[in-house]
Structures are given as C-alpha cells and as structure tokens.
Structure 1
C-alpha cells in the first residue's frame, strides 16, 4: 500500500495504482523479476505497447480507465468520444482555468501534476532515491561539470502516475538550453519498483536540459521515462525565451518522473512538503501549485 499526503486535507490517502498487481508481481516475486529483466525493462516492450496505444482500437480502453480512476473529464479540452487513440487521451490538454499558475515571480510552483518529494542540502554522491537507496547526480546526467553546480542544493522529484495529466511545464520565465538525451531501460517508477531497483533513475531512459531562469538560478530539469513510456516529447524551442507556465513537453502512456535540481540558496521549500519528504511520504500536487519561494522571500 502506498500512502500519499494530501496538503489540503492534511490527511493520508491510499494511492489507486494502475496495474498494481502486475507491478507487485514484476518487482517483488522471483519469477516476475525475471520477466522484468528479460522483457518489461526493454525498449521493445514499451515501444510495441506504445504503438498499440496510438491506434484507433485502443480508444476502447478510455471509458473504463476514466471510470476506474475517477478522472475529471470536465476539465479536459476534448470529450471522451473525440480522442483518436488512448495516447491522444493520455496526453490530453486541460482548460487553462483548471490549472492556474501562481504568477508572483517569487513563488515556486510545481511543473506538473503528480506526487512530489523534495530533499534539501543534497550530497551529490548520495541523492536519495528511496530509503536505503541512493544515486549520484553525475551518474544521472553523465556530466561531472554541470553536476558540481548543484552541491548542497535542492532536489525536487515529481512522480507522475498513469492517471495524471502528463504534460510538464516551465516553472519560471527564462532561456532553456537544448535537450541532452541518455538511452536506458524502461523500469517502472512506482515506489514498489524504486524500492527494488538500485539507482533506477540512472538506469532508465532520460533527457535533461537547463533553464536559465529569471528568478531561481540555473534549474537542471530531467525527464525520466518508464515502463510503457514509448516517448518523451519536448515541445519547447531551445535558446528562446519562455514564460512561467509555458508547456515544456509531455510523456506518452505510462508512469514517469520529472526531477528538478536547484543551486544552493536559490529557493526555500514549503515546510509541509519537506516534513512529509523526511517521513518518507510523497505529497499530492497539481501543475502551478505553490511548493516554495525564492530563498530571500522566506520569512
């Protein structure tokens, strides 16, 4: 059972996991682990499933998925009958009023919907993946020079479930760099898998870039693929000015993760998120929701 902290109600709730029994089998049973290593973690498995999710036939999955996970379609820009495939539904856009972006330049917001964990004063060689398992930033991005800029900074991990809005956005205005791509496997990013696969984020396919932001320094942004995520699609233009809240890209079907690294003394994270992260709980957040402030604005 995975418990998530609801910031609004200040209570914990159990996460309704898509494919829970399959994930538990593949990452916790001896036979399932074997299948994962032989098949599920490999590109061909996710690619083939991604091809199916791009077909008209896959639209039959949409109504049941919406019902099982109580997805609010009133905030989507398309009706269920208008989607041309399951992936078309999965990367659905929302009406702007459903995800208001806090415009105050001193406010740090979430880059998307998901479950957030944050660590401050990080050790670059021992960044926490989950209790007992760590990784290094150099391993994650394969660039020692860039990694050194984030010593004792802040790491923000936003885990997206298959049920979430799957587009990710810029959290501040600024100039984004080109995207650097690193090939890898396609392990699930669910906590069940994170607890089983050492350095999972460093094993999976991932892409990274730097946003030279106007208010929070140079933000290292990493998108991590996962099982059935056939593609990470970047929709922004490198080296061109972006505004806070602009779309950066999206993930096709599957759970996935966005990781942000901030330099030392650039931001202050909200106390409730830090407290829950230290207890080992993720906090549920939405795109544009306040998660912190500029360091000098904190009182």
Structure 2
C-alpha cells in the first residue's frame, strides 16, 4: 500500500516540477490552487458544447470505460491533494474547453504567473498513482495532442494577441521587456501588438544576430549549441537498449529516443548533452555543425508523464524526468553528417514537454546547413534539447551536470556558443 503523501512532499515535488523550474508556473503553489479554483468555477458555469478537439476526448471516454474510470480515479486522488480543483471528468473537459481559447497572461507578481495552463490544471493529477498510468495512456495522449493542436491554432491566430500590450501586465510592458530581454529580439515596439501576428509569433520571435555571434564559424572542429538553455547533464556511453527507463538514474535508451533511425545503430555507445529551455529563453534551434541533413523525423509521444515513485511523491521527479521524457515524449529527430570527419554525425533531438503545441522542423533531408542556420523551433510549449554524438568523437567544453540532481541551475548555453570540440 502506498504511503500517505505529506504536504511537505507535495511542496517539494511542486518546487521541482518542470513548469515551475521553467518559469511557467509560479513559485508559490497557493497561486496555482487559487487559479485551479477559479478555472473549476468557470468550468462548472460553462453551458456551451465542447469544442471539437475536446469533444473527441469526451467521445473516447464514452467508449472506453476503463480509461473513463481511470480519469475518475485520477481526479479523486488529485482532490485529496487540493480540494478546490475540478471535481469530475465533465469539469475537466470543460476546463480544457476554456484553455483552448486562452492565451498565457503575463503578471507583474512572480507568485501569480500561470504561463502553463494545462500544467496548472494537471499538476496534482500528475502527482497521483492513477495519474502516473493515465498520462501514459496512448489513446488519451492521441486525443490530448488534438486538443493541444487546437490550442496552438488559437495561439497562431490574431485572436491570441490580446495579451500583447505594453501595459504593466502585458508581454510588451517594461517588466516583461526587462525579464525576457526583448531588446535582443526583432520586434516593433511602436506597432500594435509589437508587430506580432499572434501570441506564438511573439513566443518564437527571432533574435538579432548580434546577440548570438558565431565565434566558431570558421573552426570546423568546433560544435556549437543548437539552442539557448541550461545544461541538464552530459551522459556518456548511451546504450541502444535499456530495459528500464523509469528510474532516477535516467538511462537514455537510444532504441526509444531515436525513432526509426535507431535501426542504423550509428550512435550506440555515444554521448548525449541534454539542456533545458526556460520560458525566457530563445525558442528556435540552429545547426550545431556544418554538414548535410541525412534524416528527419517527428515522433509523436507523451506529454505530461513524469517519473513516479510508488511509495511516495518523489520531490525531484519533475526535473529528473527530462531524460525519461527524451525517450517517450513528442520529439524531433534531425541527423546531420558533419563536414568534419572527426565529428561524424550529430543527432539533434528537440523534446516537447507538457504543453506541446508544436515541434516544427524547418529543414529537409538533403539540405546543407552551416553552423548557426535555423533548423526548427518550438511553438508555445515546454521544451528540452538533446544532442547525440557518435562515440569518442567530441570533448565537451561545458560542465557535465550531475546524474543524481537535476534542477534549473545548470551551466548556461547559447545558440552559436561552442559546447564541444572534435577530439
């Protein structure tokens, strides 16, 4: 029998959740509880029918009693942790209806910032035993991807721009300007909505080249970072087949991570550098080496599944889940054959975490890329990045992080900054 979950364990788990670490959920958990209570109230008052994407999930639950019972149990378990959230499946569906038409809002008070609405809705469900099973359910994840796609379409539309203003609590206001270093990015402060066509256009706004200079442009032995972020860890000797990935040591299973490309076996025993993107980071990714794109794939996967300890709430589960999520979450696979034979092939694996709206790959097989060329972007969503190298090819120039402790305080990396060199 599972041990009772204490308030201290829930608080520790929340502090290490991906959303909180990424800056999309507030430091004060009470703000999430107040937000959940308000969302539940509005969900109960909603009288319209479901939006099409949520209706598909409702229909799935109507046909799959086992899944419907699992949702019911997950909601009940979550209510034991916070009794002001959604009370049943219908309220959860109505809450998702509301989310699909809501843009993330900026708040001056860091304790009130709820930038990840689905993470805020699901945060207690994710901490339960039933939720551990629920968020791995393949059909549920398929339906949830449809809901997230609908939300992304809203965030891609002009309707989402109502949060893009220069008022005190607007994304273009002075506080946000300083926090998110908007001076580094291309936008037009004199224009309505900053000149952005949508919220997503703001989220993956392009950066000014002078703020990410490519000092290694003519050094063929250098590897540059594909993204802005912080080092999660450097993991040597990654194996193709790992029997158990749901452990804190987080072995990377290349058989799982690399999609259909795993059959090639090019990266067996290779090295992985994983980094973590926060909400303030630049959310486009760039080529780490000069070369030719040999392979491109987008792998659909999970969204809200985290590591789970059957005996208690693991306080480090959220941030320690990033290696696990690289194996099972929605992700991209881009293999580049470097023009430097000493570097060999490099695999770029952008990983969607929690609110995955989009992993957009903008290169095709056969394209030639130069270090610093843009190769893709995240639309609104949590995100992590893995670079996979063939064994014995590179020596890293960034601190390796720790295998047992992963937080949001790793060494910073920046697009076009050198992270490794050919041996």
Q: TM-score range by the shorter chain?
A: 0.7 to 0.9
Q: Is the 8 A contact 2:238 2:252 kept in 1?
A: no
> Aligned equivalents of 1:293 and 1:128: distance in 2?
29
Displacement of 1:239 after TM fit? 0.7
Structure 1 equivalent of residue 289 of structure 2: 172
Question: For residues 51 and 156 of structure 1, what CA distance do their matches in structure 2 show?
Answer: 32
User: 1:10 — aligned with what?
Assistant: none
CA contact (8 A) 2:287 2:375 kept: yes
Tell me the alpha carbon deviations over residues 215-247 of structure 1, each in whole angstroms, 9 at most, x when there is no partner: 221112222223332222222242132111111
1:17 and 2:23 correspond:
yes
Structure 2 match to 1:277: 402
**Within 1, Cα distance between the matches of 2:163 and 2:364?**
33
- So what's the TM-score if we normalise by structure 2? 0.59
Deviation (angstroms), 1:108: 2.0
Which moves more between the two structures, 276-285 or 27-36? Answer: 27-36
Kept after mapping to 2: 8 A contact 1:172/1:244: yes
User: What is the distance in 2 between the residues matched to 1:202 and 1:29?
Assistant: 22
Mapped to 2, the partners of 1:62 and 1:192 lie a distance apart of: 34
Determine which structure has the larger helix proportion and give its number: 2
Match of 2:105 in 1: none
Quote how far apart the aligned CAs of 1:123 are. 3.2
Q: CA RMSD in A?
A: 3.3
The C-alpha deviation readout for 1:269-292, integer Å capped at 9, x for no partner, is 12x512x23463432211112222
Deviation of residue 107 (structure 1)? 2.2
Matches within 5 A, 1:189-208: 192-193=317-318, 195=320, 199-208=324-333
Give 3-state SS (helix, strand or coil) of 1:49's partner: helix
Number of aligned residues: 282
Cα 1:242/1:142, change in 2 over 3 Å: closer
Q: Which residue of 2 aligns with 1:77?
A: 186
Q: Kindly indicate which of the two structures has a greater share of residues assigned to strand.
A: 1
Q: Which residue of 2 aligns with 1:55?
A: 157
Does the CA-based 8 Å contact 2:152-2:357 persist in structure 1?
A: yes
Name the SS for the 1:47 alignment partner. Answer: helix
1:209-248 equivalent positions in 2, closer than 5 A: 209-215=334-340, 216-248=343-375
Q: Can you give the 5+ residue segments of structure 2 that lack an aligned partner in the other structure?
A: 1-14, 27-31, 33-119, 308-315
Contact 2:21 2:319 in 1 (8 A): no
Report Cα offsets for 1:233-269 as digits up to 9, x if no partner.
2222421321111111111111122221111121001
- Stretch moving more, 203-212 or 30-39: 30-39
Please say if residues 241 and 253 of structure 2, whose CA atoms lie closer than 8 Å, have aligned partners that are also in contact: yes
Decide whether the 8 Å contact of 2:267 with 2:388 is kept in 1. yes
Which consecutive residues of structure 1, in runs of 5 or more, have no partner in the other structure? 4-13
**Cα distance between partner residues in 2 of 1:133 and 1:150:** 18
Would you say the 8 A contact 1:273–1:291 is kept in 2?
A: no
**2:391 equivalent among 264, 277, 282:** 264
- TM-score between the two structures when normalised by the length of structure 1: 0.80
State the distance in 1 between where 2:195 and 2:124 align. Answer: 35
Q: Contact (CA 8 Å) 1:183, 1:204: kept in 2 or not?
A: yes
The structure with the largest alpha-carbon Rg is: 2
Question: For 1:200, what is the secondary structure of its paired residue?
Answer: helix
Query: Does the CA-based 8 Å contact 2:22-2:278 persist in structure 1?
Result: no
